[in-house]
C-alpha cells in the first residue's frame, strides 16, 4: 500500500512538471509570435526613402563604415520615435533631427532599451546614421553580414537593413 501511494505521488509530481513545461513552451511560442508580428509590422506613414543598403565589399583593416537613412512622416499626425536598437554590438545608430544628434544607440542589453522620445512632425523628417565596425568580431567576422537597426514608433516598427562583404 505504501509503494502505491509513493508511486501515485511521484506520478502526480511528474504530471505537474510536464504540464508546467508545456505551459511555458506555449507561452514562449506566443510571445515569440507576438514579437515577430511587431517586428514585421510595416509603418504606414513613417517611411524610409530607402530601407536597405549594401556596402558591397569593405575592408576590415580600413575601419568603420556608415550610411545615413532618411525617414519622413507622410501622415496626418506627429510620429514619436520611442526607441532605436541594433541587431548586433558591431552596429550603432545616431538619430539626427533638426541638426541635433541623439545616441549612439546599440544593441538592447538584457531587454533594456533607452527611450528616445523624438517627435517627428507632420511632413517632418529625421536621419538615422548607421555605423558598422567590421573589426568588432575580429578575424571571425570575415564574410557576408546582414544587420538591422530597428525603430519602434507610435506608427509601428521600422527596420533599416544593411549588408556587406567583409574582407581582411
Residues 6+ apart with CB under 8 A from 51: 69, 158, 159, 160, 161
Long-range contact pairs involving 36-43 (C-beta distance under 8 Å, separation at least 24): 38/152, 38/157, 39/150, 39/157, 39/159, 40/157, 41/156, 41/157, 42/156, 43/153, 43/155, 43/156, 43/157, 43/158
Residue range 20-43: average pLDDT? 48
Residue range 24-43: average pLDDT? 47
All three cell numbers of 137, joined, read 568580431
Note if the pTM is more than 0.75. Answer: no
* CATH architecture of structural domain 46-167: Sandwich (2.60)
Q: Which of 16-25, 41-50, 106-115 has the lowest mean pLDDT?
A: 16-25
Pairing relationship of beta strands 125-132 and 91-97 according to DSSP bridges: antiparallel
Backbone angles phi, psi at 21, to 5 degrees: -65, -45
Q: Where are the domains of the chain?
A: 1-40, 46-167
Which tens digits make up the pLDDT trace of 37-79?
A: 444 444 456 776 778 899 999 999 999 999 999 999 988 899 9
Which tens digits make up the pLDDT trace of 124-143?
A: 999 999 999 999 988 888 99
Amino acid at each position: 500500500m505504501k509503494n502505491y501511494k509513493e508511486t501515485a505521488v511521484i506520478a502526480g509530481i511528474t504530471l505537474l512538471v510536464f504540464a508546467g513545461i508545456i505551459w511555458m513552451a506555449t507561452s514562449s511560442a506566443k510571445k515569440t509570435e507576438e514579437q515577430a508580428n511587431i517586428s514585421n509590422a510595416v509603418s504606414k506613414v513613417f517611411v524610409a526613402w530607402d530601407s536597405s543598403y549594401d556596402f558591397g565589399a569593405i575592408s576590415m583593416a580600413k575601419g568603420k563604415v556608415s550610411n545615413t537613412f532618411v525617414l519622413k512622416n507622410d501622415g496626418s499626425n506627429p510620429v514619436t520615435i520611442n526607441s532605436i536598437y541594433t541587431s548586433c554590438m558591431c552596429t550603432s545608430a545616431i538619430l539626427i533631427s533638426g541638426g541635433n544628434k541623439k545616441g549612439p544607440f546599440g544593441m538592447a542589453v538584457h531587454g533594456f532599451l533607452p527611450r528616445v522620445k523624438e517627435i517627428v512632425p507632420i511632413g517632418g523628417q529625421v536621419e538615422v546614421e548607421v555605423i558598422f565596425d567590421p573589426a568588432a568580431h575580429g578575424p571571425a567576422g570575415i564574410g557576408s553580414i546582414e544587420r538591422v537597426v530597428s525603430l519602434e514608433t507610435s506608427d509601428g516598427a521600422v527596420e533599416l537593413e544593411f549588408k556587406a562583404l567583409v574582407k581582411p
